[in-house]
Amino acid sequence: MATGPARQAPFKARYDNFIGGRFVAPANGRYFENLSPINGRAICQIARSDAKDIEAALDAAHAAKGKWGKTPVAERARILNRIADRMEENLQLLATAETWDNGKPIRESIAADLPLAIDHFRYFASVIRTQEGGVSEIDADTVAYHFHEPLGVVGQIIPWNFPLLMATWKIAPALAAGNCIVLKPAEQTPASIMVWAELVTDILPEGVLNIVNGFGLEAGKPLASSARIAKIAFTGETTTGRLIMQYASENIIPVTLELGGKSPNIFHKDVAAADDDFFDKAIEGFVMFALNQGEVCTCPSRALIHEAIYDRFMERALKRVAAIKQGDPLDPSTMVGAQASSEQKEKILSYFDIARQEGATALAGGRAARMSGDLEGGYYVEPTVLKGHNKMRVFQEEIFGPVVSVATFKDEDEALSIANDTLYGLGAGVWSRDANTCYRFGRAIQAGRVWVNCYHAYPAHAAFGGYKKSGVGRENHLMMLAHYQQTKNMLVSYSPKKLGYF
């Protein structure tokens, strides 16, 4: 077991809410124990807030919105850049907090989650500086001006799979656009964002960002259903997505939703045409299902492999799966850590049971991973490869674990048909040496993000969002600004002459 400075969880004993630029105890005085997925033990106490705290946060946000909305974009951008700098200076601390809170391997927190989050703040600092309004010449004397205005106060509900990065995906565009925020972290991962908040308290103007922790039912629901928000953003699952849309319909406000997928990862026959770097990269692309313990909305959880190369491909792929190092998330060499919660682990195991009944074959894994010592009480699942067909439940629902379901196809038509035979359309992967095949598949797959000859890259400036039941909106790109802005059209006549109607 790894030892060293990172072994101590970097949390205070207790965290209050962050409201109006201050850390404020929940009105009801209640707290809950935050457990680490690494060992199942309590690492800190977190405010168990309710509607009163949401109202206090909304009060603070509404008090701040006028000034923040009129703050020059150069200043807003400067603040976002300062947040990014502060995060960069404290990358190790934030990454360690993230790993303790979520269970993900520290190498991912350090190399992916934090650098992406930092870059995301810088990206939206730059795009807000360069955003242009519009001037439309209607006729010689009439001009339509289009101004971007903030919505005001927005609500954001954050998932537990990338707590800091997903919070950043929502915070950065909303702040850049001039909105004030009330944010509810997931109760499974409520602590790392509070470490972050302590780091940036002196940078953010009071009330611009307010973080209220607690349970979904007690704190998330009052936020989502509040008549005092101008927009709600949510990442999660479909039934809650529907309920959030329902609340939004009562208040007639826009929503953005990211509700997951069941992403196909398609390996065409020519992938194995040579045993070269490209083939090696494709094998890695297959094993990407295990990244972040599979707790990724775009997990490539359906691998579709041309039948002519199946044996050769899988022989290599299974060796790569067997080489995955699973263990202590704080060990820098660990590749797969712990699932984010015990209930998440239970759900994954329930899908192993379904897979067995449906006749799927476990080519690797298929059970909980037993750990020893301090990790014994953590939530670990073996990286798992299932062989079956697309009508099985394990091909149709996102398991959100380190699990890939593999099927073969005989030709391109069948590959495309299987790929699109899903309720969801968030991500997809296409692997081929032929540019035409890549293009045709890239366009024909009904998903918002198609990775071609790569997977699991999330650079800012590449739009991310779903087709079908995967949601509404596009994050991670300047087009997200449109989801956080109102359009003001000013239609001006420069003619002194009357129309002559009256």
Partner 1 sequence: MADEPVVATKAALALIEEIRAEHPQILFHQSGGCCDGSSPMCYPASEFRIGESDVKLGEIAGVPFYIAGDQYESWKHTQLILDVVPGRGGMFSLDNGRERRFLVRSRLICMPDQERP
Active site members? 258, 297
Tell me how many residues contact partner 1 (CB under 8 A).
Answer: 56
Span interacting with partner 1, options 196-204, 282-290, 393-401, 405-413, rule CB under 8 A: 393-401
Residue 481, token pair as written in the block = 């600004």
Determine the Cα–Cα distance for residues 444 and 452; give it in Å rounded to an integer.
13
Nearer to partner 1, 215 or 278 (CB): 215
Specify the residue for token string 């000859």: 453
Q: Does 331 participate in binding partner 1 (rule CB under 8 A)?
A: no
Specify the residue for token string 């603070």: 60
Span interacting with partner 1, options 174-182, 183-191, 367-375, 454-462, rule CB under 8 A: 183-191
Span interacting with partner 1, options 2-10, 70-78, 106-114, 214-222, rule CB under 8 A: 214-222
Determine the Cα–Cα distance for residues 235 and 465; give it in Å rounded to an integer.
11
The pattern of x and - marking residues 289 through 318 that bind partner 1 according to CB under 8 A reads --------x---------------------
Determine the Cα–Cα distance for residues 30 and 386; give it in Å rounded to an integer.
44
Indicate which single residue of 67, 359, 459, 489 sits in contact with partner 1 (rule: CB under 8 A). 359
Indicate which single residue of 163, 185, 236, 285 sits in contact with partner 1 (rule: CB under 8 A). 236
Q: Does 105 participate in binding partner 1 (rule CB under 8 A)?
A: no
Indicate which single residue of 341, 384, 405, 408 sits in contact with partner 1 (rule: CB under 8 A). 341
Determine the Cα–Cα distance for residues 295 and 290; give it in Å rounded to an integer.
8
Q: Does 391 participate in binding partner 1 (rule CB under 8 A)?
A: yes
Q: Does 216 participate in binding partner 1 (rule CB under 8 A)?
A: yes
Collapsing DSSP states into helix, strand and coil, what is residue 376?
helix
Span interacting with partner 1, options 75-83, 201-209, 235-243, 446-454, rule CB under 8 A: 235-243
CA-nearest of 16, 78, 10 to 53 is 16
Handedness of CA 196, 235, 337, 112 (dihedral sign): negative
DSSP 326: B
Indicate which single residue of 26, 241, 327, 329 sits in contact with partner 1 (rule: CB under 8 A). 241
**What part of residues 109-148 is at the interface with partner 1 (CB under 8 A)?**
none
Q: Does 238 participate in binding partner 1 (rule CB under 8 A)?
A: yes
Q: Does 159 participate in binding partner 1 (rule CB under 8 A)?
A: yes
Q: Does 251 participate in binding partner 1 (rule CB under 8 A)?
A: no
Q: Does 376 participate in binding partner 1 (rule CB under 8 A)?
A: no
Residue 451, token pair as written in the block = 């990775």
Integer angstrom CA distances of residue 327 from 39, 41, 169, 338:
11, 16, 29, 8
Nearer to partner 1, 220 or 329 (CB): 220
Cross-strand pairs, 44: 34
Least distance from partner 1 to the Cβ atom of residue 243, Å: 6
HEC string of 444-501? Answer: HCCCCEEEECCCCCCCCCCCECCEECCEECCECCHHHHHHHEEEEEEEEECCCCCCCC
Least distance from partner 1 to the Cβ atom of residue 23, Å: 23
320 Cβ contact list (under 8 Å, min separation 6): 283, 284, 286, 287
The pattern of x and - marking residues 27 through 66 that bind partner 1 according to CB under 8 A reads -----x---------------x------------------
Q: Are 54 and 222 in contact (CB under 8 A)?
A: yes
Q: Does 379 participate in binding partner 1 (rule CB under 8 A)?
A: no
HEC string of 367-431? Answer: CECCCCHHHHHCCCECCEEEECCCCCHHHHCCCCCCEEEEEEECCHHHHHHHHHCCCEECEEEEE
Q: Which residues bind partner 1 (CB under 8 A)?
A: 32, 48, 159-161, 186-188, 215-218, 220-221, 224, 235-243, 246, 258-261, 297, 341-344, 346-347, 350-351, 353-354, 357-359, 389, 391-393, 396-400, 423-424, 469-470
